[in-house]
Amino acid sequence: MLPFTSEDEFSLFRHSRTMHQGNRTTISGFFLLGLTVGSEQQLLIFTLFLCMYLVTMLGNLLIILAIISDTYLHSPMYCFLANLSFTDICFTTTTVPKLLADIPSRNPTISFVGCLTQMYFFMLLVDLDNFLLAAMAYDRYIAICHPLHYAALLSPKRCALLVVIPWVISNIVSVLHLSLLSRLPFCDQRVVPHFFCDLEPILRLACSDTQINNLLIFIVGGAVIFIPFSFILVSYALIGTAVLAVPSVRGKWKTFSTCGSHLSAVFLFYGSIVGVYFLPASSYSAERDKVAAIMYTVVTPMMNPFIYSLRNKDMKRALRRLLTKKK
């Protein structure tokens, strides 16, 4: 995106959208710096992100349609996968369309209400991804380590609870963060060095003390991130232990290759989040945060359909049936 042509233009823009009240400032919107690209690279970057967005939408939508249309896939594992695909579609749509609109824009702004709305859905959906990945790991653990108890441990009622409870928790966490953020006074400086409204860079623009907000990120955010992540690691560790006892080398290789691809997506997702929210403030880098954010907001949702379907014979069969019906 192109910067302002002059400091005077930026100053006029800044003051025209800002109302002063004493020493505090009531902000009507923010200026998103977005990705740092030259004018000659805008078309390339726009095309790249547009293609990634379309692949994400198409891949996840095909998974949802295949699972709905094939009664053989009406099981807990595919229920979680369909919910993950739906979450990834919404998750990507929260940030990428705004990014695409801002790349060629000379005035990439977002209103204060729009910023809070984007943050709400972003936090809601990223937390949902955490819980759904944990639910999928639990499903694989039960299927491999306790197959005889699978129907009892993952009954339709429990499966529904494992989907509904994350929605409730994620909503509570998102509302809690936004209720504290909306009370903060903001300084005249309102340039956000990011391509969407993320909690960390917005807090840096506040004029008052944000210690409570940062503490909430560390405690509540840490619990929401690290508890599911630890659960995933333990589940796959137990799966690995069980698989090592299998005498078939082919069976071991098949399970390890599948679990390895799942874990690669998990580590990419969680590693990027930890790099953005849980590193010391002294090591903050806006450019690093942008790259990490792209990893878990764009790349991971695009990869998930390939990771969770290409190695799955039932999914490939259902997709073939779906595409044959379409033709």
Instruction: Name the residue ranges covered by the structural domains of the chain.
Output: 31-324
Helix/strand/coil for 179: helix
Q: Do 63 and 77 meet the contact criterion of CB atoms below 8 Å apart?
A: no
Who's near 187: CB < 8 A, 6+ residues apart? Answer: 25, 205, 206, 207
Over range 132-159, report the average pLDDT. 90
Question: pLDDT digits over 3-17, tens only?
Answer: 444 444 444 344 444
**Displacement of CA 63 from its chain's centroid (Å):** 18
- What six digits make up the tokens of 115? 């910023």
Q: How many contiguous H segments (helices) and E segments (strands) does the chain have?
A: 13, 5
In angstroms, rounded to a whole number, what is the distance separating the alpha carbons of residues 229 and 273? 11
Nearest-CA neighbor of 109 among 45, 25, 18? 18
What pTM, to 2 d.p., does this model score? 0.83
Nearest-CA neighbor of 111 among 97, 98, 92? 98
Which of the 8 DSSP states describes residue 75? S
Q: Do 292 and 276 meet the contact criterion of CB atoms below 8 Å apart?
A: yes
If pLDDT is split at 50, 70 and 90, which confidence band does 290 have? confident
Average pLDDT, the chain: 83
pLDDT at position 185 over 90 = no
In angstroms, rounded to a whole number, what is the distance separating the alpha carbons of residues 242 and 39? 55
> Topology of 31-324 in CATH?
Rhopdopsin 7-helix transmembrane proteins (1.20.1070)
Question: pLDDT digits over 230-275, tens only?
Answer: 999 999 899 888 888 777 777 677 777 667 777 877 888 888 787 7
Strand-strand pairing, 109-111 and 24-27: unpaired
